[in-house]
Amino acid sequence: MNGAEALLRTLVDGGVEVLFTNPGTTELHLVGALESVPELRGVLALFEGVVTGAADGYARIAGKPAATLLHLGPGLAYGLTNLHNSRRANSPVVNIVGDHATFHTAFDPPLNSDIGALAGWLRGPVRRPEDAAGAGPDGAATLAAVLEPPGQIATVIMPADVSWSDGGAAASPVRPRSAPTVGQDVLTQVADVLRGGETTALVIGGTALREAGLLAAGRVAAATGARVFQELYSNRVERGAGLPAFPRLGFYPDQVLDQLHGVRHVIVAGTKAPVSFFAYSDQPSLLVPEGARTHVLAQVGQDAVTALDHLADLVAPDTTAPVTEPHRPVLPTGALTVQNWADVVAALLPERAIVIDEGVSSGTALAAATAGAPRHDVLMQTGGAMGDGLPLAVGAAVAAPDRPVLALVADGCVMYTVSALWTQVREQLNITNVVLNNHAYAILRQEWKYFSDRPGRTDPDRNQLFDLANPPIDFVGLASAFGMPTSRATTAEQLAEQLSQALAQPGPHLIDAAIPPAA
């Protein structure tokens, strides 16, 4: 067994089933090893940002890690944007990065770079086996590392001669530790805060946004009057009829401060205290109201769901969580707007759908519209780096081929990773892509207004750096070039008809939905 096969066999024995890749010459022995490890499915993408984003989407839905295979330092660098989102999502991802043969690097060939420094930016462990015998043990240790709660990205750098050399052997999986539990003293302290009668907010995130955590938080809110909020960007949220629907914290500081107005205590579970996404000269960075105290029920990486459940038993032993009743909007009519496209989606959303929300400024109405829709999961780009939506959809569809995936992606975001459409067609994934096409970087127009009171600022609608209409982007033509069925909608009636047809047919589809920018 050579080093490449030893590494892949170790990952498979540890539960890894999918490898997303855009390989190069230094990875050819790893590609060859896939033929000897048929349990590992290889999925090809044309850009490393699609590879890494797909691994993230897979991990969030499958609940276990995927692997990536990347070409040297430049390949890893191309993938770092969506690895940043993965790191913020705490997704378990094993990166395999090929490198030049150990004897070759001394000559500093053109593709030589400091791969370890690039991988270190992700904050997970980085390993480089020295020979084929080390490939298996390093693979097992890397896999254990990515499974450390709450999940992280770890990297194996594979020199080409380590991959091709004999002497490797699969290593036994290393058992990762479980998520640490919250101590009784913390539970008692937080329970006392909730019983104290002062206005309190409970902010939940991570795994607490699945059914068990939502129901426990709902019990706490019903018994104590605490205001419950969802963190701004979450890796996976279970939503729909039969579950509590809690509002998300706002994007802008003034929105959050308004949501938390009058709060004397902020309790966080599975997330951190709210901070401003960006800095503004007249707004605070930490968005806990002045004079309010922050209490950590469960840190990121601790078992937040069990903590919330035990807390509910303390403060709400006989309380049932209020849940959202089934309801859907009436199908709207007329030209598409920022509101009514979301109503169309909510009216037609199928059971067990996976919704990718990268609508940015165009997606503000989605959560309210879909609150009473059939149960579904929502994935978001957690780190704020654009271009994650289409790759997340690829990974989610690979992880759950029996579930419909609906990718709602702003036009500007699509262009970062448009080649993901090619992978969707190649793999015949059940993804309906809706491009929210407002012909603008509308989020930057909104941000510009925060500075519009300064002398010399132009109207953001006239700033050419925020304009995507010159030249217009033909998304129907782009998707058609990859062999994907496409359509264009300008009215709610057209979107409803096209969405219904796309969801009823297997394989990928793209709908170009023309909407105005958010006001």
pLDDT recorded at residue 445: 75
Would you say residue 183 has pLDDT above 80? yes
Instruction: Give yes or no for a contact between 179 and 210, defined as CB atoms under 8 angstroms apart.
Output: no
Q: What is the DSSP letter of 336?
A: -
Q: Which two tokens stand for residue 475?
A: 């998304």
pLDDT exceeding 70 applies to what percent of the chain?
A: 97
Would you say residue 460 has pLDDT above 80? no
Would you say residue 451 has pLDDT above 80? no
Amino acid at 114: D
Would you say residue 454 has pLDDT above 70? no
pLDDT recorded at residue 463: 76
Mean pLDDT for the chain overall:
95
Measure the CA–CA gap between 30 and 84, rounded to whole angstroms: 25
Would you say residue 282 has pLDDT above 80? yes
Global pTM?
Answer: 0.96
Instruction: Give yes or no for a contact between 429 and 508, defined as CB atoms under 8 angstroms apart.
Output: yes
pLDDT recorded at residue 446: 76
Where is average pLDDT lowest: 47-61, 75-89, 169-183? 169-183
DSSP string, 192-223: HHHHT-S-EEEEE-GGGGSHHHHHHHHHHHHH
Would you say residue 455 has pLDDT above 60? no
DSSP string, 52-97: HHHHHHHHHHHSS-EEEEEEHHHHHHHHHHHHHHHHHHT--EEEEE
Each residue's pLDDT tens digit, 107-136: 999 999 999 999 999 999 999 999 999 999
Each residue's pLDDT tens digit, 287-332: 999 999 999 999 999 999 999 999 999 999 999 999 999 999 999 9
Each residue's pLDDT tens digit, 470-510: 899 999 999 999 999 999 999 999 999 999 999 999 999 99
Mean pLDDT across 196-214: 97
In the structure, what pLDDT confidence band is assigned to residue 355 with cuts at 50, 70 and 90?
A: very high
Would you say residue 452 has pLDDT above 60? no
